[in-house]
Amino acid sequence: MKALLIVHHSVTGGTLQMAQAAAAGASREPDVVVRLQTATASGAQALLAADGYLFACPESLAGMSGLMKDFFDRTYYAVLDRIQSRPYAILVCAGSDGSNAARQIERIATGWRLRSIAPALIVCTHAQTPETILAPKHIGASDLARCEELGATLAAGLTLGIF
Domain boundary assignment for the chain: 2-160
List pLDDT tens digits, range 28-86: 999 999 999 999 999 999 999 999 999 999 999 999 999 999 999 999 999 999 999 99
List pLDDT tens digits, range 119-130: 999 999 999 999
Mention every residue, 6+ apart, whose C-beta is less than 8 A from residue 25. Answer: 147, 148, 149, 150, 151, 152, 153, 155
The CATH class, in words, for 2-160 is: alpha beta
The predicted pLDDT at position 65 comes to: 97
List pLDDT tens digits, range 2-14: 999 999 999 999 9
The predicted pLDDT at position 145 comes to: 98
> Which amino acid type is present at position 129?
T
Average pLDDT over residues 133-156: 97
> With b meaning 16 or more CB within 10 Å and e meaning fewer, what string describes 72-87?
beebeeebeeebeebb
Virtual torsion, Cα 71, 72, 73, 78, nearest 10 deg: 100
* pTM (global) more than 0.95: yes
